[in-house]
Amino acid sequence: MPAEDATVTRAADAPPAPAGGIVIEHLHHVYPDGTEALRGIDLAIEPGERVAVVGPNGAGKSTLMLHLNGILEASHGSVSVDGVRVDRGSARSIRAKVGLVVQDPDDRLFSPTVREDVAFGPIHMGLPQESIHARLERALAAVGMSGSERRVPHHLSLGQRKRISLATVLSMDPSILAFDEPTSGLDPRARRELMELMAARPETLVVSTHDLAMVAEVFLRVVILDDGRLIADGSAADLLADEALLLAHGLERPCLPAAASARAGP
C-alpha cells in the first residue's frame, strides 16, 4: 500500500476529537445603552476542562456566559464551540451542546410539573417518546431527584429547583455546562451537594461565580475578569493565593478548610 494511502487509513480509523472545546477571540459586547461589557476577551478552553470565571459585579462574567450558547451576539470578535462559530445560523445546534444553567432557576422552570420542564428540550428536539423518557430519568437521577416527576417545581426548595434546572439542561446531553452563580442563595447543605454534583460531572465546566471557596475546591483553572477585560488566567492555586491581585479586582482570598487550603496554595 502506498504511504499516502496508509495515512488516509489511519485518519479514517482515528477516533473523533472530544467534544466540548471553546475558543473565544477578541470578544467585545456593547449593550444598546452603550455599556461596553466585554472588551476584547481571548480565551481557549479544552474539552473536559473546569474553568471558573471570577470578578466583581459588573466585570462582564454573566455577559460572557450568555455568549457561550448564542443568547447574546458579539459586537466584535467571535465565540466558537467545537470549531463552529456561534451565530444566528448555528445557535440552535450550539444550544444543544452548551447547557446554560442560569442563576435564578425560576427563569427556567415554567411548567406545571418537573416532568414537563425536564422533558421540554428533548420534546422540541423531535425525539421519540422512548428517548424522551430515558433522558428524563437519566437527568433526574444525575441530580439526585429521581421520583420527582409529578412534583410542582415552585413547591420545591431553592436547592431542589437548582437541581431541576440543571436536569433540564442535562436532558439535552450537552458537552459543555455553563453555570452563572450556581451556589448563590443556597444554604450550606444545598451548596455542598451542588458542589459535589458539579465536581462529578464529565462535561466541560465553565462557571461564573463570586464563591471563591467553592472555586478552590472544585476548579483547577481560574479566569479573572474586571471592567470587561481578562485580567488573569491561571491555576486556582496560584491566583487564589495572590491576595494583592484579588484585592485589586474586588475579590477576597477565601477562608478554606485545611484540605482545600493545601490545594489553593500558601
Quick: pLDDT tens for 64-114: 999 999 999 999 999 999 999 999 999 888 988 999 998 888 888 889 999
The answer regarding whether domain 49-57+97-249 maps to CATH 2.60.120.10 reads no
The larger pLDDT score, comparing residue 164 to residue 16, is at: 164
Of all residues in the chain, what percent carry a pLDDT higher than 90?
Answer: 76
pTM for this one?
0.85
Check residue 17 and give its pLDDT: 54
Q: What is the maximum span of the chain, computed from C-alpha positions, in angstroms?
A: 68
Give the start-end residues of each E strand in 129-220: 176-180, 204-208
Distances from the Cα of 157 to the Cαs of 4, 148, 154, 240, in angstroms?
61, 13, 8, 32
- Cell digits for 255? 477562608
Between CA 22 and CA 82 the distance in angstroms is 6
Which residue in 246, 244, 189, 187 sits closest to 215, CA to CA?
Answer: 246
Domain boundaries, the chain: 49-57+97-249
What does each C-alpha distance from 184 to 67, 101, 192 come to in angstroms? Answer: 21, 12, 12
Dump pLDDT digits (tens) for 25-79: 999 999 999 999 999 999 999 999 999 999 999 999 999 999 999 999 999 999 9
Could you tell me which of 90, 52, 84 has the C-alpha nearest to residue 198?
52
Which of 74, 101, 57, 95 has the alpha carbon at shortest distance from 207?
101
CB 199 within 8 A of CB 205: no
Distance CA 105, CA 161 (A): 6
